[in-house]
Structure 1
Amino acid sequence: MRTEAAKRVELVFSLFDANGNGVIDSDDFDLMTGRVLEAAAASDDGAKDALRAAFRRYWTTLAAELDADGDGVITVDEFRPFVLDPARFGDTIAEFAEALSALGDPDGDGLIERPLFVSLMTAIGFEEANVHALFDAFGPDSEDRVTVATWSAGIKDYYAPDLAGIPGDQLVAARAL
């Protein structure tokens, strides 16, 4: 696993631990889902339902694969190797990527405007400066938009253990305040 991928996973774990108790559990996914859906007020019910389903699948996949003792929590040590295994987790990531990127396109034109992108990503918990850097790395058009396909592909790349130098690395980069 590349160092860059390990840093991306550590960040995702910290974000998924939405209640800050040091482990990931079902309540964390409920909290994050609520925050993201609140940021996506203009999205239609179908897109919101797809995101709810994607977050629910994310949790149920983690719980089924990692919670061997049935205690209902996932530690960072349990999370790290699993989430970077495309054979075990690729379909779940793909569903999540499609749902989140579609949520960012409430008018259905295939484009995501920066303000909504920033709102959704900060609702997940990413630092705003890093979110702007990510959006810039995606190469927005002259009207400051990126395609749904670009964002979806970027999410999938974020979880690839062998990739470095990808736009998603902007999310873990230290930014000056």
Structure 2
Amino acid sequence: MMCMRDEAAKRVELVFSLFDANGNGVIDSDDFDLMTDRVVAAAAGSDDSAKAAVRAAFRRYWTTLATELDADGDGVITVEEFRPFVLDPERFGPTIAEFARALSALGDPDGDGLIERPLFVALMKAIGFEEANIHALFDAFAPDAADRITVAAWASGIEDYYAPDLAGIPGDRLVAARTV
């Protein structure tokens, strides 16, 4: 595996804390159900196929984690189990790519290839990111004059977020100054 940058480690710690949607200190299937329901609810204007795709992507994310990491079969993933696996592109890259495509497409209910800031913010808040950090991320994607970013830029940004060797990426703005 590639060398993990400090920025990547911080991104992973944040993702783990967000995926622990019920706050019990581990990630389990219920956490993914809670997060999926929140994200789908935030995308009320999206069509059923986009909602189904994001549900499938969240389910695959959980299934991949459970299959790869839950060696003792207890149905939970600890941060220690999560950290090295999620930043391994060989093992987790396809799952992240599917998740990135599904989530970014969910943000484009009219299919024009563009995501408006309000829906982007709603989806990211549903995941659990802080609003100030969400706006900083959106701005880092260089929105157009109508305050929109491309679906492709967001999908690429999601994939970059999980890259162990990247720093100075838009996703690093999500880690800045979290309040608990």
Matching of residue 101 in structure 1 with residue 101 in structure 2: no
Please tell me the root mean square deviation across aligned C-alpha atoms, in Å.
0.9
CA distance in 1, matches of 2:8, 2:120: 22
Structure 1 runs of 4+ aligned residues shifted over 4 Å read: none
- Equivalent in the alignment of 1:134: 137
Note if contact 1:129-1:175 (Cα within 8 Å) is conserved in structure 2.
no
Matching of residue 36 in structure 1 with residue 39 in structure 2: yes
Matching of residue 87 in structure 1 with residue 94 in structure 2: no
Alpha-carbon offset, residue 35 of structure 1: 0.2
CA distance in 2, matches of 1:166, 1:49: 29
The two structures have a TM-score, normalised by structure 2, of: 0.97
CA distance in 1, matches of 2:78, 2:61: 15
Matching of residue 25 in structure 1 with residue 28 in structure 2: yes
CA offsets 1:118-159 (integer angstroms, 9 cap, x no match): 000000000000000000000000000000000000000000
Structure 1 unaligned runs (5+)?
none
CA distance in 2, matches of 1:28, 1:174: 24
Structure 2 unaligned runs (5+)?
none
Matched residue of 1:53: which SS?
helix
Alpha-carbon offset, residue 174 of structure 1: 1.4
Alpha-carbon offset, residue 169 of structure 1: 0.2
Residue identity over aligned pairs, in percent, reads: 85
Alpha-carbon offset, residue 29 of structure 1: 0.1
Alpha-carbon offset, residue 175 of structure 1: 6.7
Alpha-carbon offset, residue 93 of structure 1: 0.1
Matching of residue 49 in structure 1 with residue 52 in structure 2: yes
- Equivalent in the alignment of 1:2: 5
- Equivalent in the alignment of 2:61: 58
Matched residue of 1:112: which SS?
strand
Note if contact 2:130-2:178 (Cα within 8 Å) is conserved in structure 1.
no
CA distance in 2, matches of 1:64, 1:125: 25
